[in-house]
Chain A
């Protein structure tokens, strides 16, 4: 049985009347990429801050590497790397100096530190920008610098708190590839995000939270297996009379139909040829459509089905 790296038990954190974490618990095993997924304000960052002992909490316990975490546990802090939600670097220091500054908070030996800084620069591919000041970097490069500052000291546990916010797709992919590589190199990762695609793509275990509580947890497949929805058939249709919607609802395996903004979403539970049945119905009834396709359920569907609301705000 693999070692438990993080264990949070019955954590309660209140901000006056607001309960940010409500008896929240989680367990992360060594080598996992643990995705913490939830809408804005669900308690992801509060969880991370309590885990790091930056925040005082009202109840519960946090254990890291089998030991109780506290603000003065420097031995445990040494083993953690943090990549903050906002870019946390000094504008007056260059890329190299920033990484060296933060790495130096963990690594005293100059020679080792120099090597680690070089490794980090190489890892985030910022070698051409090592003498640049942060203000001269693009948003994506800045995010990569932010990551390098958090992981340069080669920690055992890396916490990435929404590291891809406001990043272009190319940089996002680079960051995600980097996270997987860090994990391959032995680090346990906690990855918080409200981008479900990222979580699905890289996380070996996912915990969905809302209002400071766990909504569901497991692998991506396990989570999807917990809901009714197995397939979504989507049809782009300009105009669809209401009687057709009611008729489609009666097709085999269909349990819900929504028609919004010229888009018909047909939710199915089981069945192998759902899209064929829909095409047949539309053809038989001379309903013109532009496009039809099928999608497997996403984590958003999981969240939607469990909580009755969308996981992320519509962009």
Chain B
């Protein structure tokens, strides 16, 4: 029975001109129009260097100085000098002579050096107690270390797009206030504060692709530095070559994610295509609403016929919902395929995850219509009106008509972005596209599933009404 109803409703939907025009033809036309509208802008677009202010604290410079100092500490020479000292001292004592020579290093210095067992000990070392006379290099090499020598700064300076354009540009400022002013004016994309090798913070004023790139650069950098520190800590002997390990690890970071994000997703208009997909997904609500309303006795004559039958109402409605889900999935995947393979829209990220996200997105729309269809005694027209308000209003607030709207909502009422079906869907695409398959994407998918689940549950509970007060 379930399958038969499902197939019949599939036929009804496929043969419904209104449904097919709005959910199938209209998005293809709109997508094509978007493509031609934006294509001229695409062609003139180049990779953009991201301006930032980088503030390096004294602590970070001292940390690197310590790293450099320990890496150049000639421990062999210390051992030799101590050996020579103790030999001379033993000889003098054996000969009964007075031995006045001072130890090569004071007991305190030796204890301090020996106490350094790992990277964290080294980081906290007081350089005032460092035996500079045992440096393999000139002391000035350590003393003269400045912010520019820090591995993070070198990495930032060297980071380039594939075509050679510098990815990040440092803007010099005289004070933090000046940096904050530049940030609030939008002249820089962020302020990066380097407190230590691993303690790097990003302050941004917004949430665009540039900010995401900076965030990803810092994350990838921290990840590699963390690995380097683990290498140093795992073997005590690595302390002596910690600068080498650190330099190697940071130089070898290829910033795949950041480059991918910058290279593939520099297109600011792709968000319009996400919203288009979100719109198609939400359109499924019209289909589920229409089918369910037509099976309710207080809404339609066919509903009276269905309600008079021995069929379990909920099973009937779930079969109808299944038909909508199947057809919407086909339509939305077709639309996506058209955008990716015919219009060559670069959605970035893993295609299979984009398809998966698209499928899940369609569930939000389908269950939205299912839920609204069960809203009390309202007439079908009123239910459609509610749906249109949610679809159009939600679409607007998720940025379909004005790209920055979602960000404005995020700042003013972040909770609304969690319950707005359009925003939940676009956020999943954005997360996938900008951050890849990771915690944020999984969170977005979780929101989609929770939203769909709640709407389905509400619909099921409301459908339990057995008879009506009036028809």
- The residues of A with any CB-CB pair to B shorter than 8 Å are 15, 49, 52-56, 70-72, 74-75, 77-78, 80, 82, 84-90, 92-93, 97, 100-102, 104-106, 108, 149-150
Contacts and interface: CB of A to CB of B under 8 A. Distances in A.
A131 to B, nearest CB: 13
Nearest to A57: B467
Contacts of A52: 307-308
A54 B471 CA distance: 8
A105 B304 CA distance: 13
The 9 closest A-B pairs by CB, nearest first: A88-B301, A71-B466, A74-B310, A105-B309, A92-B15, A92-B12, A77-B310, A86-B301, A71-B467
Given A90-B12, A97-B8, A97-B11, A54 B468 contact: yes
A55 B305 contact: no
A54 B469 contact: no
A82 B467 CA distance: 16
Interface in B419-471: 466-471
Interface size range of chain B in the complex:
20 to 34
A105 B309 CA distance: 6
Interface in B223-249: none
A55 B468 contact: yes
Contacts of B470: 15, 55
Contacts of B390: none
Interface of B: 1, 4-5, 8, 11-13, 15-16, 294, 297, 300-302, 304-312, 316, 466-471
Given A15-B470, A150-B305, A54 B297 contact: yes
Given A75-B310, A101-B8, A82 B468 contact: no
A2 to B, nearest CB: 25
A144 to B, nearest CB: 16
A112 B258 CA distance: 64
B466 A102 contact: no
19 contacts: A15-B470, A54-B297, A54-B467, A55-B471, A74-B310, A74-B312, A75-B310, A77-B309, A77-B310, A86-B301, A90-B294, A93-B11, A100-B8, A105-B1, A105-B305, A105-B309, A105-B316, A106-B310, A149-B305
Nearest to B307: A54
Given A54-B307, A74-B310, A104 B467 contact: no
Contacts of A88: 300-302, 304-305
Given A54-B297, A55-B468, A84 B305 contact: yes
A105 B310 contact: yes
